[in-house]
Amino acid sequence: MRLSLRFVLPLLLVLAAIAYAVSPMVDQLTLRWFVRDLDSRSALIANAIQEPLLEQLAAGRKAKTGDFFNRISQDERLFAVGYCATPDTPMLASRSLPKQITCAELARWTGPGEHLLASEQGPLHVAVHPMTSAAPADAAAVPGQLVLVHDMSFITRRSEETKRYLVYVFMALGAAVSLITVIVAQLSWRGWMAGVRALLRGEGLLRQPEINPPPSLPGFKPIARDLQRLISELESENRARDESQLTWSAETLRTILHGELRGEDVIVVSNREPYIHQRRGERIEVQRPASGLVTALEPIMRACSGTWIAHGSGSADHEVVDKNDRVAVPPENPAYHIRRVWLTPEEEAGYYYGFANEGLWPLCHIAHVRPIFRSGDWAQYIAVNRKFAQAVVSEAKTKNPIVLVQDYHFALLPKMIHEELPEATIISFWHIPWPNPESFAICPWREEILAGMLGSSIMGFHTQSHCNNFVDTVDRFLEARVDRESFNVSFGGKRTSVRRYPISIAWPPDPELLQKCVPECRRHIRELNDLPPEHKLGIGVDRLDYTKGILERFRAIERLLELKPDWIGHFTFVQIAAPTRSGIDEYQHHEAQVRTLATRINARFERRGPAPIILKIEQHAPPLVYEHFRAADLCFVSSLHDGMNLVAKEFVAARDDERGVLILSEFTGAARELPEALIVNPYDADQCAAALHLALSMPDMEQRDRMLLMRGLVAEFNVFRWAGRMLLDAATQRRHSRLTDMPGTSTL
Ligand code: F6P
């Protein structure tokens, strides 16, 4: 309202000034019109009265002429009439003729015509008309002039009236313009305010979808596009600031969820569940699986709450869920829910063991194990993906949830969710490598897999080379539009952003894992393994998977002992290998190979002291794993191909004493982030042996320098950043789609 007054008052003042300036001009104009009117009126009257006047003059009836003139001047405007025979004679006139008009005075005027005169009675119009005779013969005998005097005061009255009307008109005009302006201003102000508020809430600037779908505003189209661009720029500026200034923590992540995503519910889908309930006789034991995916996502879910949908694979899983198949976890301090999905043995065999782990796993890892593709497995893979899609739909509280789809078990799920919940933001993350197009080509259902993944809003990989491979593969096998500058793929009318999000671990690590001091860990773990106190110790922690390069690792140890026999009896490598996928032939075969090789190497060097390799094929709880990390002099990660490998980062996190050496395969995603590790090619036994020797003899200062740099990296690029970046990108996409879905706007 104040704004409207601020606008209306000046407008009214301007209009008043215009009225004031215009009125003299109007006065002049109307005066000219009226004088012209009086001129022609006088001429008319003069013509009309000339004949009777001539007759009366000719008849010498002067008294009658006076009456005649008096009668005529009773007209409202004709003030007086007079006749002058000569300049010297007195004027024959009506009574009302002003005294200053005499025949002598008329003779001094410039001649016949019209004159304006000021008199006691007011302004007068005096018209002098020469008399003419109807009979030419008498013309000389008809001298004299007729004088017609009109009252002009009515002109002044009219002018006053006109001025008054003019003021009224301008006032009415001002009021009308003000009213229209105020209404328009109020409407647009409200619209802009709503837009700005929406922007501040993180919605599209010109849209409040839940309240009022906006009408199509073609006029705003260019503005919307500019705004969109502006938002993008601001976002990228903010992102740069975020990256450099934010210390990512569980709290930061919670703030992002509540601020950027307004606390929306997050649904995670993975095959492996974070807590497995196993029956052990009378009691139920809670197990934590050996899984990089679980290691990364669990702290995220603790921070964000929400629902984690996963396969219920534990023998007591059924016993602990509610009627909706949900259980609150972590058991000691519940923060989120697991929604369990039950699979039949046939489904598990076809989808998990078959298609996912005999087909896609070796296909993507290129670890020289042939992928096996069976149509029966494919059918189960489709059916199980569909089952999980239904679970997502039933868990979604809104029509646009944020769904985090995890890994190669669910390549088809993004498309299925998108079909059911087109407004959902689906972020898929592929935890394993993506091969080059030639390697991927051998999958018989390659097009279906790619189309399924492109149901995602964002498709994430650990490294840029995996993103490149994926985009190349899509380009090769699908009719899709691939934008290599923005790394966006458009397929079937849907756009997917392909992005790199290097996964990590929680930072700082859980204090419970670091509770025991390093000397205590060194002592305890050596005792546990019957090793002397100062014995050099190496550690490897993996699932017993052929991609982890455990055989290559053992061969490197053997080579070290061949090349540097001084280490025989003074160095032992403890390999913790969690059993995995043991229903698959290849894994059984691999386990047998690992056991045989360890036995052979030990047999070869054991006689000169403790065994060089201690193989523990069993699941170890995180506190015991961390104790091993803290007790070791080196950690050896020799994956033949690995998306990231979080064991490398966990070892770094465990070493708050800033000691210990990491030997890391160049074929892991982690090698790109931790160049201070000793980077090796696991296929090169000599090189790995040299790295082992270097690690065992590395001075404390160098260990410290390397470890400090690696710890700094892991602290900064922790798992909260991994999840936070994905969620921020999801928030950005949601803002963009609100803007671009608006009628009358187009995609960037
Ligand atoms: O990190 C890759 C990954 O395949 C995860 O998807 C999985 O949770 C983990 O390794 C362990 O594998 P599995 O769940 O088959 O035991």
Give the pLDDT score at 224: 59
Q: What is the DSSP string of 238-251?
A: HHHHHHHH----HH
Give the pLDDT score at 183: 72
* C-beta of 580 in contact with ligand 1 (< 6 A): yes
Pairing of strands 307-311, 266-269: parallel
Distance CA 246, CA 101 (A): 102
| Token pair belonging to 149 | 């005097």
Four-CA torsion 417, 418, 422, 425, nearest 10 degrees: 80
Q: Is 686 helix (H, G, I), strand (E, B) or coil?
A: helix
- In this structure, how many other beta carbons lie within 10 angstroms of the beta carbon of residue 627? 24
The residue extents of the domains of the chain are 2-157, 266-500, 516-717
* C-beta of 291 in contact with ligand 1 (< 6 A): yes
| Token pair belonging to 226 | 């500019």
| Cα 610 versus chain centre, distance | 60
Model confidence over 396-423: pLDDT tens digits? 999 999 999 999 999 999 999 999 999 9
Distance CA 514, CA 532 (A): 23
Pick the atom of ligand 1 nearest to 292's CA: 1
Pick the atom of ligand 1 nearest to 271's CA: 14
Q: Which residues contact 61 (CB under 8 A, 6 or more apart)?
A: none
Pairing of strands 494-500, 458-461: parallel
Give the pLDDT score at 354: 98
User: Which parts of the chain sit beneath pLDDT 50?
Assistant: 1, 3, 135-140, 200-219, 240-241, 743-748
Query: Do 663 and 695 contact (CB within 8 A), yes or no?
Result: yes
Query: Do 474 and 436 contact (CB within 8 A), yes or no?
Result: no
| Token pair belonging to 446 | 């390659």
- Cross-strand partners of 80: 149
Give the pLDDT score at 156: 72
Residue nearest to atom 8 of ligand 1 (CA): 291
| Token pair belonging to 741 | 């879905």
DSSP state of 139: G
DSSP state of 133: -
Give the pLDDT score at 161: 75
What is the Å distance from ligand 1's center to 293 Cα? Answer: 7
Q: Is 322 helix (H, G, I), strand (E, B) or coil?
A: coil
Residue 621 φ/ψ, nearest 5 degrees: -70, 150
Residue 667 φ/ψ, nearest 5 degrees: -95, 20
Ligand 1: residue of 273, 293, 722 to mutate (most ligand atoms within 8 A of CB) is 293
Distance CA 591, CA 605 (A): 22
Ligand 1: residue of 272, 352, 404, 504 to mutate (most ligand atoms within 8 A of CB) is 272
Distance CA 458, CA 747 (A): 17
- In this structure, how many other beta carbons lie within 10 angstroms of the beta carbon of residue 130? 12
Q: Is 103 helix (H, G, I), strand (E, B) or coil?
A: helix
State the CATH class of domain 266-500.
alpha beta
Residue 528 φ/ψ, nearest 5 degrees: -55, -35
Residue of 179, 210, 182 whose CA lies nearest to 194: 210
Query: Do 156 and 123 contact (CB within 8 A), yes or no?
Result: yes
Residue nearest to atom 10 of ligand 1 (CA): 291
- Rounded to two decimals, the pTM is 0.70
Query: Do 664 and 648 contact (CB within 8 A), yes or no?
Result: yes
Query: Do 656 and 626 contact (CB within 8 A), yes or no?
Result: no
Residue nearest to atom 16 of ligand 1 (CA): 580
* C-beta of 431 in contact with ligand 1 (< 6 A): yes
Taking CA atoms, 19 is separated from 27, 496, 547, in Å, by 12, 64, 91
Give the pLDDT score at 217: 47
**Secondary structure (H, E, C), 598-652:** HHHHHHHHHHHCCCCEEEECCCCCHHHHHHHHHHCCEEEECCCCECCCHHHHHHH
Distance CA 449, CA 430 (A): 12
Task: Write down the H helix ranges in 324-436.
Answer: 345-347, 361-365, 375-395, 413-420
Taking CA atoms, 422 is separated from 210, 436, 490, 649, in Å, by 16, 30, 15, 37
- In this structure, how many other beta carbons lie within 10 angstroms of the beta carbon of residue 449? 23
* C-beta of 558 in contact with ligand 1 (< 6 A): no
Give the pLDDT score at 222: 56
Is the CATH number of domain 2-157 3.30.365.10?
A: no
Give the pLDDT score at 192: 60
State the CATH class of domain 516-717.
alpha beta
Distance CA 288, CA 275 (A): 5
Distance CA 347, CA 8 (A): 75
Contacts 24+ apart (CB under 8 A), 465-472: 466/430, 466/433, 466/434, 466/500, 466/643, 466/669, 467/434, 467/498, 467/499, 467/500, 469/433, 469/434, 469/435, 469/436, 469/437, 469/440, 470/430, 470/434, 470/498, 471/498, 472/436, 472/437
* C-beta of 380 in contact with ligand 1 (< 6 A): no
What is the Å distance from ligand 1's center to 243 Cα? Answer: 29
Give the pLDDT score at 685: 98
Give the pLDDT score at 46: 84
Sheet bearing 122-130, strands edge to edge: 92-93, 78-84, 145-151, 122-130, 113-119
Query: Do 606 and 600 contact (CB within 8 A), yes or no?
Result: no
2-157 and 516-717 share one CATH topology?
Answer: no
**Secondary structure (H, E, C), 45-58:** HHHHHHHHHHHHHH
Query: Do 542 and 509 contact (CB within 8 A), yes or no?
Result: no
Residue nearest to atom 1 of ligand 1 (CA): 292
Four-CA torsion 260, 261, 263, 269, nearest 10 degrees: -130
